Structure 1
Amino acid sequence: MSKVESALHYLRYLQRRFVEDGCLQRASSLTYTTLFAVVPMMTVTYSMLSAIPSFDGVGEQVQNFIFEHFVPSAGATVEEYLQGFSRQARHLTAIGIAILVVTAFMMLRSIESALNAIWRVEHGRRGLAGFLLYWAILSLGPLLLGLGFVLTSYVASLKLFTDTSEMLGLGSWLFRILPFLMGVAAFCLIYMAVPNRKVLFRHALVGGITVSLLLELAKSLFALFISFSPSYQLIYGAFAAVPLFLLWIYLGWVIILIGAEMVRSLSDLQAIMIRHPLPNMIQALLVMEAFDEAFAHGQPMTREQYQLRRPISMEQWECCCRALAREGLLREDQEGSWTLCRNLAKVELWTLIRNLPWSIPTAKSLSEVNEALPSWLLSLLARLQRFDADGNKQFSISLSALFSGDEDSSPEPAAQSTP
């Protein structure tokens, strides 16, 4: 494939996965959850930062920075409302504060659930592991933000830095790029820490940069849309900022989920770009061969090691391993690794392929594969060709003949349409 065809093939794959994972519906759900959790999150942030005397007043700076650089101008009115709600929430009783923390936890749980669905993770973090992740985000997140603001203010106040930046003309440029870098760091951390799956840093970094660029573009287009569409102000009046704010949150979650699909796909990029992938049945037999060889040498077999032999997507790897585990051939340990647990000399080929949840591949489907196949698979191809020929001979009767019991009659040739 040419580079243009490869790019179009990859974009079509992302679009298909975005639709299959129901990302638009998940973005709607996350928008609804964010609406209820934004005040608790702000309250927790203020509380964490106010607990440290050096961070006094940093909470307001963080909030103003976020609304100024990450939310279009329509969020100014909403920011005033949220500030008032948050100030009132800080005077709640212990029970009220506990309810706010639970609401914030529910938002983080919804985010984790959405990302785990994209990574095809069946079980998210449970118990202590999930609690520690959420608590780390709620506690360390505000503290790291506050520390970043304090250090930035300190460095900016140094005379050497001020004189050097003014001389080189870098002062305004550094402060313009700072929000972008903070966004990249935040999204990169989300894609690495939240899914219950190992995500490489370089993949998360690519996703963080892409999402930050898309958000900057969306913010400009959104502000342009507001300036050219005054009907919202005419219809909703002073309340116009609220639906616009919700629309922006929804658009932001759509972009974040697009980035998640992109990060997940980067680990499967080699397998995604194959135009004619191996059928699941054949891939499962190849996986069993790899496990058998690894077991004979006393070595483990992971997806990363298998990918050195031939490309396989994370989804197909999990699908094949789980199907083989249901047949008692593989076993999954607590860390999610798979091991061989049965002597393959006692496993019959026909019994296995009849019990696996996929149709028997045809010889034609294997002939379209653009990769070198092992000799035993070529032998299986010859068996499939004979199987196809015998099946065609045994089942070449019409449905009318089958239902009437007249198995000697052959189906009439299909009528050909004239052009």
Structure 2
Amino acid sequence: MKSARPLLGAPLETRQALAQAGGNAVSQARKLLNFCLTLLRQFHQDRCLGVAASLSYTTLLSLVPLLAVMFSVLAAFPVFDTVVEKLQDFIFRNFVPASGEMIQSYFEGFTEQARRLTGPGIFFLVVVALMLMHSIDEAVNDIWRVRTQRSWPAKFVVYWAVLTLGPLLLAVSIAVTSFLVSLPVVSNINGAMEGVRSWTWSLMPFLSTLVALALLYVLVPNRRIRLRHGLGGAVVAALLFELAKHGFTLYVSNVQTYATIYGALAVIPLFLVWIYVSWAVVLLGAELSYCLTLYQERARPGDAHVPLAPLVAAYRIVGHLWRSQQRGETLSEERLMRLEPDLGREGLVPVMEALEREKYVLMVSEGEWVLLRDTGEITLADLYNAMQHTIAGMPGLPGRQDPWNRELLEILHDAEEALNDRLRIPLKQLYQSSETKLKAPT
């Protein structure tokens, strides 16, 4: 009670400021909790653990071909002969915990055998490596609700760039770092600088993971992703990856269950479990990037809004596309959400899917939409049916032979017909009428 007396005697402005600060803290904590719950809900709804399991098996089958192709690219450049071994050590030491050395020895043998393959065998390796990249591409695009995929030529260019440029960039970074460390100016620095150098090397795996994940989250989805959202997901995923790596190493070192059951073969299930954990972390980071976008779209003044009904949303979206078509422009999803702030991405995606399914709209590039049909040929009834509206859920009404339901169905059917007749108005007529009234002097 004594500690509360100075506060009670404080000026009114001070007490109001403290109360406001406390209220803001509670509000921010509530928002953070809601964000975390949304993230977990999205992670569950997108079946990310199941996708991680699928990617784990695909990775296990594709990892040897992938490494064989990547190291073959480096082998084509004699300047990187001394770097290849360092690159292998860097990958397995820092990204495969516990049994990394044993796994590395296995994979070195596998890749050495793979390099001796002839033309058809090499082609098969490339195809299997591309299959893994295609699976990753589909998983990330599903999280971002992207339904229009890149064309196969565009995909091939992206995948091939990753297979060729990825190892080259890693090799260049390691070569440059090794060169700088070997300089006499750096080598002669005393022990104080040695600690800084050691700390820099220990930070390299985290930075490599961060850059790789940021590129994955920003470049792979077939739509525009803000860099800060991709980086946000990448930072959290990279931190979780480091925690998972240390936790997995601690578990394997102290719990001998797998070694007792499998003996010398324990490295195989352990490696598979680690791949699964890694993919779960990667997909969680992708979901975080997606949720950051959703959060930004919702965090506006007047947040407590009523979502647009699908028919109203479709009518307004087609209207915006009609206006942009008259100007010879396309409309991005971000622009549509700015024009319709009450819609949000969760409301926009199903409406665009329905309009695309009926061939009313088309995505021409990353998130850019255009009209496919003249609005003079599309009626309000068409939109009503495209959004799968029915009066009182008529198609799902049970017991059609029941006398009560039969009478109700007849009335609802007549009402449905009357409503469709009333809605058979071309959209262009409605839009032009609204434009005329808007321009008319009051």
Smaller-chain TM-score bracket: 0.7 to 0.9
Q: Is the 8 A contact 2:361 2:369 kept in 1?
A: yes
**How many angstroms does 1:242 deviate by?**
1.1
Q: CA deviation at 1:301?
A: 3.3
State the 1:86 CA deviation: 1.4
Displacement of 1:15 in angstroms is 1.8
Change (3 A) 1:81 1:17: same
Aligned to 2:287: 261
Q: Which residue of 1 aligns with 2:184?
A: 159
Code of the residue aligned with 2:274 in structure 1: it is W
Partner of 2:10: none
Q: 1:402 is matched with which residue?
A: 404
Tell me the equivalent position of 1:287: 317
Q: Map 1:9-408; keep pairs closer than 5 Å.
A: 9-163=34-188, 166-168=191-193, 169-272=195-298, 277-291=307-321, 294=324, 300-309=330-339, 310=341, 312-324=343-355, 330-333=361-364, 337-340=368-371, 349=380, 352-353=383-384, 355-358=386-389, 402-403=404-405
1:10 deviation in Å?
1.7
Change (3 A) 1:221 1:272: farther
Residue by residue, what CA displacement relative to the aligned partner does 1:6-33 show, whole Å, maximum 9, x if unpaired?
1222222222222222211111111111
* Bigger mean CA deviation after superposition, 312-321 or 25-34: 312-321
Look up the SS of the partner of 1:339 in the other structure.
Answer: strand
Gaps of 5+ in 1: 362-398, 407-419
Aligned-partner Cα distance in 1 for 2:378–2:62: 54
Q: Conserved in 1, the CA contact under 8 Å of 2:70 and 2:167? A: yes
Write the distance in 2 (CA, Å) between the matches of 1:278 and 1:188: 33
Q: CA deviation at 1:333?
A: 3.7
- The answer to whether the Cα contact below 8 Å between 1:300 and 1:339 also exists between their aligned partners in 2 is yes
Q: 1:353·1:360 contact (CA, 8 Å) conserved in 2?
A: no
**Contact 1:43–1:90 under 8 Å retained in 2:** yes
Letter in 2 for 1:308: R
Distance 2:285 2:391 in 1: 36
How far 1:347 sits from its partner (Å)? 6.5
**Alpha-carbon distance in structure 1 between the residues aligned to 2:140 and 2:376:** 41
Alpha carbons 2:103, 2:267 under 8 Å: kept: yes
Residue 405 of structure 1 deviates from its aligned partner by 6.2
Distance 2:373 2:62 in 1: 50
CA shift for structure 1 position 356: 2.3
> Which structure dedicates a bigger proportion of its chain to helix?
2
Residues 284 and 159 (structure 1), Cα distance of their counterparts in 2 relative to 1, 3 Å cut: same
Task: State the 1:142 CA deviation.
Answer: 1.0
Distance 1:49 1:37 in 2: 19
Report the count of equivalent residues.
370
Deviation at 1:199, TM superposition (A): 2.1
**Cα drift, residue 305 of structure 1:** 2.3
Seq. identity, %? 37
SS in 2 for 1:57: helix
Q: Please report the TM-score for the alignment, with normalisation by the length of structure 1.
A: 0.78
* Cα distance, 1:345 vs structure 2: 7.9
- The secondary structure found in structure 2 opposite 1:267 is helix
* Distance in 1 between residues matched to 2:325 and 2:184, nearest whole Å: 65
CA distance in 2, matches of 1:42, 1:231: 30
Q: Which amino acid aligns with 1:198?
A: R
Distance change (3 Å), C-alpha of 1:238 and 1:355: closer
Q: For structure 2, which runs of at least 5 residues remain unmatched after alignment?
A: 1-25, 393-400, 409-442
Q: Report how far residue 335 of structure 1 moved.
A: 6.1
User: How far, CA to CA, are the matches of 2:39 and 2:288 in structure 1?
Assistant: 7
- Write the distance in 2 (CA, Å) between the matches of 1:235 and 1:265: 41
Cα distance between partner residues in 1 of 2:406 and 2:338:
55
Contact 2:149 2:222 in 1 (8 A): yes
For residues 111-141 of structure 1, the C-alpha deviation after alignment (integer angstroms, 9 at most, x for no partner) is 1121122122224333321211111111111
AA aligned opposite 2:239 = L
- Alignment partner, residue 416 of structure 1: none
Q: Structure 2 length normalisation: TM-score?
A: 0.74
The AA in structure 1 aligned to 2:174 is F
Equivalents in 1 of 2:283, 2:102: separation in Å? Answer: 27
- The alpha-carbon deviation at position 110 of structure 1 amounts to 1.2
Distance 1:264 1:202 in 2: 11
How far residue 214 of structure 1 moved from its aligned partner, in angstroms, is 0.5
Q: Deviations over 1:261-309 (max 9, x none)?
A: 1122323223456565333333334434544555566664332223334
C-alpha distance 16-103 of structure 1, shift in aligned 2 (>3 A): same
